[in-house]
Amino acid sequence: MSQDRNKDYEEEAAHHNSALGTKEYWDNHYDMELSNFEDTGDEGEIWFGKSAENRMLRFVCEKVTKNSAILDVGTGNGSVLRKLRQKGYMELTGIDYSEGAVELAKKTAEAEQKEHPTKLPTINFHVADLLDIQTSPKLCHRYDIILDKGTWDAISLAGDRSARLQNYRRSIIDLFRKNEEMN
């Protein structure tokens, strides 16, 4: 992108901040969804709908081996990972920067595990912020596949977009396994 176009983009973006781009929004949202789950057992919203989730699942099942280490960034309630677990994927991790989302994901995964007579593999969930200056060392260079069903979009909606997206890109690179580790 030319420097002038990039400047125009940044100026336009500065006037279109959205609450969806803030951690406060997501913390409040997942606190409410966690409370709903505890009261009614409702797992919460499937972002972009079940059809988008199903397309993502079909793609993964067609292209990704079941022994791949998969990371879902912005995991929310962990729905994608729970569905992959049902399809036989074993090494699943979800991260979100909202503690409420991670708590909801853990509880929904545990509830599902209790319902099934056969032991399902554990899904690991962690609080992690891809916008931090440094990626959590416990997550670095561990994943073959990284899924993102909307985190990139959400972080683009508020604040210093350039810095946020730069940190996101760096974090994603840090999370992938290095080629020599994959052999």
Q: Is 98 helix (H, G, I), strand (E, B) or coil?
A: coil
Report if residue 6 sits inside a domain: no
Say if residues 172 and 130 touch (Cβ distance below 8 Å). yes
**Span 10-15, average pLDDT:** 53
The gap from C-alpha 165 to its chain's centroid, in whole angstroms, comes to: 15
CA distance 151 to 155: 6
Report if residue 77 sits inside a domain: yes
Which residue do the tokens 């006037």 mark? 15
Report if residue 2 sits inside a domain: no
Per-residue pLDDT at 181: 47
Per-residue pLDDT at 53: 93
How many separate domains does the chain show? Answer: 1
Say if residues 89 and 109 touch (Cβ distance below 8 Å). no
Average pLDDT taken over every residue of the chain: 87
Domain that holds residue 55: 17-182
Tokens of 35: 């409370």
Tell me the whole-structure pTM to 2 decimals: 0.85
**Span 149-169, average pLDDT:** 85
Report if residue 153 sits inside a domain: yes
Report if residue 7 sits inside a domain: no
Say if residues 130 and 155 touch (Cβ distance below 8 Å). yes
Report if residue 11 sits inside a domain: no
Report if residue 46 sits inside a domain: yes
Condensed to tens digits (0 to 9), the pLDDT of residues 42-87 reads 888 887 778 989 999 999 999 999 999 999 999 999 999 999 999 9
Work out the pLDDT band at 182, boundaries 50, 70, 90. very low
Angle at alpha carbon of residue 22, lines to 100 and 32, rounded to 5°: 30
Angle at alpha carbon of residue 51, lines to 47 and 54, rounded to 5°: 95
Report if residue 137 sits inside a domain: yes
Tokens of 172: 């994603």
Task: Give the number of other CB atoms < 10 A from CB of residue 133.
Answer: 9
Per-residue pLDDT at 97: 94
Cα-based torsion angle of the residue sequence 6, 9, 14, 19 in order, rounded to the nearest 10 degrees: -120
CATH value at residue 141: 3.40.50.150
